Structures are given as C-alpha cells and as structure tokens.
Chain A
Amino acid sequence: MNTIEDRLSGALRDQAQTFTVAEHSAAMEGVRHRVRRRRRRQAAVTMMAAVAVGAAAASAGPLLDGISGRRVSEPTLAASWPGLGPDVKRDAAYRELLRRRPPKGRVTVLEPAPGGHGAHMRAWVSESNGRSEFCVFDVLRSGGYSSGCDGSVLDRLHASAKGAVMGGGQGSSRGGLFHYGFALDEVRSVELRLRGGRELPGSHARLDGSTVSVWQVGTPQVDAAKTIVFNGDPAFNVENRLEKQVTCPAVPRPPRTGMIGMGGTGTTDPLSAGFSGGCVRFWVGGKHGGIVPLGIHGITGSGGLKSVSRRWWYGVADPATARVELTLADGRRISARIVSSPWNEAPVVLYAGHLPEDAPQDSESPEKAGKELVEFLEGSKVTGYDAKGTKLWSR
C-alpha cells in the first residue's frame, strides 16, 4: 500500500475531476459582470459621500401619499423589479440570500411612495441560531443593489423605546437619497421632513410573521432632507412624532474645544472627533473626515465602516460596543481603538483603527484615492462586539 500522502494525491486528483468548468466565454462573462457590478457600487458610494456633507435648504418635491407594502410568496418574485430589465447576477444574488436566509413567512415588497423616490425593497424575517434575523434586498433605479440580514433588530427596537431603527443605512441614486429601516408595529407612518418644512410621506409595511415593519423614505435631492418622522399610534401610547435628524449643519473647521483625540502621530495625520448640532464630526489632520448624524445612527445601535481616510478607518457605534474589528477580504483582522463619548447628548462610542500598510496611499486626486480605497476594502466588513465578546453588529 502506498503512503497516505500518495493516496491523498490520487484522491485529490480524482476529486478535482468532478468539478465541472464552464465554457471560458461564459466564465469570462461572469468576471466581466463582477467588474461592472463593482463599478456600479463605486458610483453609489461616491454619491453617498455627498450625503455626509450636510446641506443648505433646497426645494422640495411634491407631497406624496404613502403606500403599504405587499406581501408575496416566493419564488414568483425572482425576476420582477418594476421598471428594471433582467439582471441575471442581481436576481441570483437575491435568490442566494433567500437560500441562505429562508423566509419564515412571506416576502414583503416595499416600493417607494407613489411618484416618490427610494428603492425597490424586499424584506423578510428569517432565523439563524434560534434568533430572528431581518433581511432586506434593495434595488435602486440605477440598477445597483445591496442586501443584508441583521439579527439585532428586535433587541435594538425594544432597547431604543422609540420604536424605530435604521436597519441598513442610506443609499442614493442620481442625486436622490433614501433611508430605510425597521420599526415596531406601533409606528403607523413614516415621513421625510425637508429643510423647507414640507414632508414627503414614505412607505412602510408589516413583515409577515413579525410585529416589526419595514419602512423607507426618499427625496430627489440629497441636501433637501432634514429629519425622518415616525408617527406612532396614540392608542399604544408611543411617542407620536419621533424625529431623526438626517443632515448636519456645515462646520468649516475643527472647533477648539470639546474634541476627542482618536490617535495619530508622526507620519499619520491625527484623527479627532467633535459633536455639535446632533452630529459627530471626524477630522483628519484638520480636514473634514466625515459626519455621522446621530439622529439616525446613534439610535440604530449599529456601527460600521463609516469612513476611511488617510490611513484610518473609523466610525460611531452603540455604547454597548466594547470591541470593533475590521476583517479584510483576505482574512486579516484589525482591531480598532474604542473611545466612549464624553458628550451627554450623544451616548455612543467612537472607534478608529489604522489601515494596513498595503492599503492604497493618498493620491493627489481625492476621487482616485477614494476609488482605490473602495477597491482595497471590497469584501471587508466591520464587526462590533460587546464586553462578553458577543457579536452585536456587522457591516
């Protein structure tokens, strides 16, 4: 009998032959699609950067009526996105998420309010390790899409005592903006208040098999939005109008007081953070490093890779977060420094970590530098843990 090493070689050779390989032209098309998809996402990220800049007042769109969502059984939905042509990879991604996180009930379809802005959303409740997970797949009119499941929604909804959280953050399409998230069933409607005072109704719908609803609001102009308004049901004695700030007033330079130093010496530009106007602002080497309006993100209890700039990755998270880790696509893990906010109005923690040495260097062109960083961080994720090491959130 041969050695186990020889036998293993033979077994591996045999087993390798069982994997079929597609025609190279078809496989190349798969690669081509991935490159295109990556660039579509880059475009979306570029637009999201504009959201954080904050804004001046702008004209509002027409007042719209909110709609309720539909609940439809799969798999009839698989290739039906209103106004969009077929996209094999997008629909495959959707089916893959459904496979990995099978719905406990029916899938809810949530469209933007009539004539309004937002995304084609599908949401459902799944279960993982005995815990309910709330899943969303959203498709923008531009064709870009994103998806994810969050197992902490219920905890955060009940902990907030406000009845609504941001589940997935924000996205944009051709200058527009939309926010989405989850709310307890007592929330009866959601609106987006514009800086001029007008309100655009959003849409929301209860998820099958849950007391939680999914919602979204949108506006055609990023800088027009001011707050998201959740209207509660007085019969349940919940807060009738909960407003969450969307944009932040401009601050041209770092204030001299109330700043938190997050680190940075020598060749690394120092990173610091300040709080004013309901927003946490990061500064890198005295320049703007991103804004987080806590009206949304502070209440969500989640965090994420909010910003990347000049060798730093950093963000804001729920105060229960004790450890934050960046996992790169190649498996490397980088821990962040955690700092508790000293600001009474903003009970959050701030986190910041260094990007690895092989991350793209600063470029003379901010846009080029941003693209390279986005490429470098593709497939990475940021995870927050509590003091016991339990995972709280992941982006």
Chain B
Amino acid sequence: MTDISVEVRTGLASGLSGEDADPTFGDLFHAHYGALVRLAGLLGADDPEDVAQDAFARFYRRRRRLRDDNAAFAYLRSTVCNLTRNRKRHLRIARLRLPSIRDRAGPDHEMPAELTAIVQEDRRRLIAALDGLPPRQREVLVLRYWLDLSEREIAETMGVSVGTVKSHAHRGIAALKRHLGEES
C-alpha cells in the first residue's frame, strides 16, 4: 500500500501537472481533445467530453507503448470509437438531446435565406438518419466523411477488415438514401 501511495503522488504529479513534464502528452491533448470530443458526439455519445477524457486517461496509462504521435492519435481515435460503442450498447445510457441545426447560431451567410433553410433542413434530416444507423455503419460514415480517413485507416481504427469497412459504408449510404427517399 505504501508503494502505491507514493506512486500516486509522484507519477500523477510529474505526468499530468504540466506540459513541461510530459510534452508529448500535453501536445497531444491540446491538439486533439476538441476533435475527439466532436468525434464522440457525432458517434452518438451521451457525454462526448466524458468519453474524450476517458480516452486520454487510458492513453496516459499506456503512453509508453505509443511513442509515435501518429500511433497515439490512432489509439485515441480508436478508443473513442470503442468507448462510445460500448457505452451505448452495454450501459444503455439515455442519449442527451443535441441542439438541432435549426437552433444553431450562425447562418451560412454566402447563401440566400431560402437556400440556407433548404440546406439546413437537408442536413438536419441527414443527421437524424445517421442517428438511426447501426453503430458500425455510423462509425464508418463519420470517420470517412468527417475525419476524411481512408478505408485502411478506418479499418485499423475499428479493428475490422477493409472489406467490412466498404460493406458498412455502402450499406450506410444506402440506408441514408432510403431514409431521405432518394433511392435510385
């Protein structure tokens, strides 16, 4: 017990109290925290910030095994996906209602008002359709069309094959089209 107490004091203080003590962790945190919060939100997490912080805490404990920054961000991204999926599936946490695009401040100033309204309605319907997709399809679409990841990167993030990514993407887009009444 004594050893553990000592470790808590020294390890935590040196590892997290300032960027100088652990610049890699601090840099990663400042660079990616916001993106990971938004990723969790787009994947349907009830508390995106909680998920992102949890991911960083897990990363902190394993950071020695992930010296490469690219590998670290891939790990964080993957952890956010897994945490969000697990929380939704196992804990059945009621989802927090997100503000709709109609409530969002800041219109698209470059478009005429009528067109803006049409675009916003279209986007609202798309997000609503995305909400209804199976989790894996949703993940693929968010990683592809929001983070612009390649199929290979998505496969690595989700721990599935490239073929599975293609299949999820195809079905996800088809489902969105069905929902929007745009089937060919």
Against B, the Cβ 8 Å flags (1 = close, 0 = not) of A24-41 are 100110111011101110
Against A, the Cβ 8 Å flags (1 = close, 0 = not) of B45-72 are 0001110111011101110000000000
Q: Answer yes or no: B117 CB below 8 A from chain A CBs.
A: no
In the assembled complex, 24 residue pairs joining A and B whose CB atoms fall closer than 8 Å, in A order, are A5-B173, A7-B126, A8-B145, A8-B173, A10-B119, A12-B142, A15-B42, A16-B38, A17-B104, A22-B49, A27-B33, A27-B49, A31-B29, A31-B53, A39-B8, A39-B11, A43-B4, A100-B92, A329-B86, A331-B86, A367-B3, A375-B61, A378-B58, A379-B83
Assembled-state Cα–Cα distance A16/B176 (Å): 19
Which single residue of chain A is at the shortest CB-CB distance from B173? A4
Which single residue of chain A is at the shortest CB-CB distance from B39? A16
Assembled-state Cα–Cα distance A158/B78 (Å): 44
Which residues of B (1-51) have their CB < 8 Å from a CB of A?
1, 3-5, 7-8, 11-12, 15-17, 29-30, 33-34, 37-38, 41-42, 48-50
Q: Answer yes or no: A21 CB below 8 A from chain B CBs.
A: yes
Whether A19 and B48, one on each chain, are in contact in the complex, defined by CB atoms closer than 8 angstroms, is: yes
Against B, the Cβ 8 Å flags (1 = close, 0 = not) of A358-395 are 00000000010000000100110100000000000000
Assembled-state Cα–Cα distance A148/B72 (Å): 32
Q: Answer yes or no: B166 CB below 8 A from chain A CBs.
A: no
Residues in chain B near residue A21, CB distance under 8 A:
33-34, 37-38, 49
In the A-B complex, the 9 residue pairs with the closest CB atoms: A34-B57, A11-B123, A19-B41, A12-B146, A30-B53, A16-B38, A11-B126, A330-B82, A31-B56
Q: Answer yes or no: A42 CB below 8 A from chain B CBs.
A: yes
Whether A31 and B60, one on each chain, are in contact in the complex, defined by CB atoms closer than 8 angstroms, is: yes
Q: Answer yes or no: A9 CB below 8 A from chain B CBs.
A: yes
Residues in chain A near residue B91, CB distance under 8 A:
100
Whether A10 and B123, one on each chain, are in contact in the complex, defined by CB atoms closer than 8 angstroms, is: yes
Whether B1 and A8, one on each chain, are in contact in the complex, defined by CB atoms closer than 8 angstroms, is: no
Residues in chain B near residue A346, CB distance under 8 A:
none
Whether A46 and B4, one on each chain, are in contact in the complex, defined by CB atoms closer than 8 angstroms, is: yes
Secondary structure of the B contact surface, majority rule: helix
Given A16-B146, A330-B79, residue A35 in contact with residue B16 (CB < 8 A): yes
Against B, the Cβ 8 Å flags (1 = close, 0 = not) of A336-365 are 000000000000000000000000000000
Whether A331 and B101, one on each chain, are in contact in the complex, defined by CB atoms closer than 8 angstroms, is: no
Whether A39 and B104, one on each chain, are in contact in the complex, defined by CB atoms closer than 8 angstroms, is: no
Whether B98 and A18, one on each chain, are in contact in the complex, defined by CB atoms closer than 8 angstroms, is: yes
Against A, the Cβ 8 Å flags (1 = close, 0 = not) of B121-136 are 0111011001000000
Whether B12 and A36, one on each chain, are in contact in the complex, defined by CB atoms closer than 8 angstroms, is: yes
